Amino acid sequence: MKALAAYGKAFRFLFHNQLGWFLWFPTLITVLVFFGGFSLTSWATKSISDTIDVWINSIDWLPDWASVIQDIVYWVLWIVMRIILYFVFAFFGGTIILVLMTPILTWLSEQVAQKMGKDVPPFNITQFTRDITRAAGLAIRNGMVQGILSLGCFIIGFIPLIGAVAPFLLFVVNGYFYGYNFMDYSLERRRFTVKESNRYVWSHRFSALSLGAPFAFWMLIPFIGPMTAGYLSLFSTVAATLEVERIEGPTSTHQEVHA
């Protein structure tokens, strides 16, 4: 419950400490992601449609119906491609957003820790690049594991009686791995290895679940969830940073000075 309550603190903390300007970043990334997604599906629709058109035009007995069939094929492909795009964002949209937001969320976590008076290492472009690479790689790895387990939950859903728990399991899996990613921005700053992060997050799995649950729930909302996930990831990162620092206790330079 303390981890879940951190979301309320995160909202106040972000604006009270003049960090609201971070909200410009998910705006830019969201526009790029969806513009890129629709551009890709439009390109795929046209490419496949053109290939089929060539095949249709080569059939001698379809000259009168060729244009009608081509139009039908094009619009069927248009619909299918956008359905595929929707499911890609529904299942992997969270991971895609987290990977693209990695530099921003890593930076935000450091800013939050500094505002809390914590001992944050001085900025170093080499180390920052390593942190970004590590966080992005971990997000991709977690996304793959999350996808495999989600598929397992989907399959379990077809089993009589047992299948009733599949939606709950799916929500828990997504919540845990999203929470893991948000907590890891603080752990990488503390120079945790991936194995150490695995152990740490598992030992605080209920905190990870409660931190990732709002994001997992938000991603279930059709269209709106994936489109605004970048904004929520900011508050999730702030909440996770506050929670990790709470768990770790007072380690700030300010407190050390007063001590």
pLDDT 10s digits, 129-145? 887 888 888 888 888 88
Residue 51 in domain: no
Comparison of pLDDT for 43 and 122, the residue scoring more: 43
| Per-residue model confidence (pLDDT) at position 63 | 62
Predicted confidence (pLDDT) per residue in 183-220, tens digit: 999 898 888 888 899 999 999 999 899 899 888 888 88
What average pLDDT does this structure show over 106-111?
Answer: 90
| Residue-number span of the structural domain to which 227 is assigned | 2-22+92-254
Structure tokens at 134: 């590590």
Residue 31 in domain: no
Residue 13 in domain: yes
| Per-residue model confidence (pLDDT) at position 238 | 93
Check residue 244 and report its DSSP letter.
Answer: H
Contact of 77 with 212, CB cutoff 8 Å: no
Please say if the pLDDT value at position 254 is more than 80.
no
Phi-psi region of 119 (alpha: psi -120 to 50; beta: other; left: phi over 0): beta
**Can you tell me the distance from the alpha carbon of 183 to that of 201, in angstroms, rounded to the nearest whole number?**
8
Residue 86 in domain: no
| Per-residue model confidence (pLDDT) at position 250 | 58
Share of the chain above pLDDT 70, in %: 90
Please say if the pLDDT value at position 258 is more than 70.
no
Residue 188 in domain: yes
Enter the pTM of the model. 0.77
pLDDT, averaged across the chain? 82
The domain tally of the chain equals: 1
Please say if the pLDDT value at position 237 is more than 90.
yes
Residue 161 in domain: yes
Contact of 128 with 106, CB cutoff 8 Å: yes
| Per-residue model confidence (pLDDT) at position 252 | 42
Predicted confidence (pLDDT) per residue in 35-93, tens digit: 887 888 888 888 888 888 777 777 666 666 667 777 788 888 888 888 887 777 766 77
**Maximum separation of any 2 CA atoms in the chain, in Å:** 90
Residue 6 in domain: yes
Contact of 220 with 256, CB cutoff 8 Å: no
Residue 50 in domain: no
